[in-house]
Amino acid sequence: MQPLIEDKRIIDPLNQTFAANALNALTWTLFARASIDVLKATIDGMDGSASLAAAFDLLLKHPEALQRLREKRTAPTFVSYDVPELTPEQNRKLEEEHAREESARAEKEFAVDWSDAQRLFDEFRKDEVVVRLKAARNKLIAHSDTILDGDQYRARNPSDFGLKWGDAAYVTNLAAPILKKLMSGLFGIGIAIDEVPSMFGRYADDFWHHLRTGLEVNGGGPDKPVRPRRHT
């Protein structure tokens, strides 16, 4: 939805009008929503929140919970062998060997992924963009008053605080490998988090298609111009 508040054909007619207040409100609503959501899912560690920080806090403070996850993840998985050329005893030994190998593999994956996840999260919390976005969310998001820019007053925007529209996407992408490590190592589950950008791209495309007749915009990104559908 970013083009909606950056398209000069939309913005310029609103300058010096009361409608500019609505555009300013929309700008900060969109930016604040993106900032709040990405931080809520990553570094906000309040009890009961479904964030990466809360998950790490729980598992580090309660090693018994981590141990239960380890036991469940590394529990032997039995596969039935029925090789005609082998005796029942030999088939049973193959089953036991397979279970031991799978358990050892899961144990190694658990240890490596859990260690990697902790390291990545420590780096994540110290990342310059993450720190900047958190500071903006905590202290500056509410500051949407006007400032003097040259000889004219204009509304504040995120760039006045050193923020970029790509910050939320950057932080999300930075957190994705941590979530993958946790889900893979602790639960043996792969997640299609890489498909999220394309999903939101479809949301953006559909929004711009339905915006209004006659307004041409590039809502799908620099390499994917989007034209609105005509409605009756």
Per-residue pLDDT tens digits for 41-75: 888 865 566 788 888 988 999 999 999 999 999 98
Identify the pLDDT of residue 152.
Answer: 64
Are 34 and 203 spatial neighbours (Cβ–Cβ below 8 Å)? no
Q: What is the mean pLDDT of residues 10-28?
A: 73
Q: Which residue reads 């555009």 in tokens?
A: 23
Q: How does pLDDT run across 113-143, given as a tens digit for each residue?
A: 999 999 999 999 999 989 888 887 776 554 4
- d(CA 48, CA 227) in angstroms, rounded, equals 43
Identify the pLDDT of residue 36.
Answer: 76
To the nearest whole number, what is the mean pLDDT of the chain?
A: 77
165 CB contacts (<8 Å, ≥6 apart)? 2, 31, 158
211 CB contacts (<8 Å, ≥6 apart)? 4, 217, 219, 228
- d(CA 38, CA 43) in angstroms, rounded, equals 9
Of 93, 173, 97, 90, the residue nearest 129 (C-alpha): 173
Provide the 8-state DSSP code for 147.
E
Q: Which residue has the higher pLDDT, 91 or 140?
A: 91
Of 39, 38, 73, the residue nearest 59 (C-alpha): 73
Q: Which residue has the higher pLDDT, 190 or 4?
A: 190
